[in-house]
Amino acid sequence: MEASWAFSGSFNAALGKTSKFSFSNISRFGSDYLGEDDIHTLIMTNLGYAVAPQLKSTIGGIYTNEGGPKPSVGLQYTVVRKQFLAMLFPNLNMCKQPDLMTISMIQYLRKVTEKMRFVGRIQSLCILNGKGHLFSTLRFRTGFIRGKYQLGVASDLNFYGADFAFAKSFGLFLQYQLL
């Protein structure tokens, strides 16, 4: 699979203004343009608890069409500054053969005008188990934020299986902030 399409969405929210609990969901679907390969699916849902201002413990589950549903536990460490955000999220997906998954993100924001900001973001996800590499992706986003909308150019570089089969997609991204 060389060229592919992908759809991804994420939802993150605190469960109340003063609550230490939060909810997050990441969903990703992708395949090749011709439809010759199966659609690759990854859905991860977690409930988080803030044990410190920058650190959350998480419990939830993950579903992939290759591995099925699995319960998971993890930690999420986040650093937030005025123009910078960094996040590291190691996760253990528990089953007969556990997976180790790590998500990371670095984001840069810069005010362009009173109503518009520039955003640059690099995200990665890697899933490994005792057999080796299962899936990884590098996602690049650069664009602009106005109000609750983000629009810009994007690229995804995806690697599947132990042989690191490569799939890439380039295009536009549109994001709307619900909350």
Structure tokens at 132: 């080796």
pLDDT digits 0-9 by tens, 153-166: 999 888 888 888 88
* pTM given for the model: 0.82
Looking at residue 77, the DSSP 8-state letter turns out to be E
Predicted local distance difference test score (pLDDT) of residue 4? 64
Q: Domains (ranges, CATH) in the chain?
A: 4-176 (2.40.160.40)
Note the pLDDT of residue 58.
94
Q: Alpha-carbon distance 154 to 41, whole Å? A: 19
Tokens representing 91 are 């996760």
Predicted local confidence at residue 135, as pLDDT: 85
**DSSP secondary structure letters along 79-118:** EE-SSEEEEEEEEEE-SSS-EEEEEEEEEEEEE-SSSEEE
Nearest C-alpha neighbor of 69 from the set 93, 37, 100: 93
CA distances for 148 relative to 46, 79, 176, angstroms: 24, 22, 6
pLDDT tens over the chain, length 179 residues: 456 666 777 777 878 888 899 988 888 777 666 666 666 788 889 999 999 989 999 999 988 877 788 999 999 999 999 999 999 999 998 888 888 999 999 999 999 999 999 999 999 999 898 888 988 989 999 999 999 999 999 998 888 888 888 878 788 888 887 76
Nearest to 145 by CA among 102, 105, 174, 106: 174
- Residue 1 has a pLDDT of 47
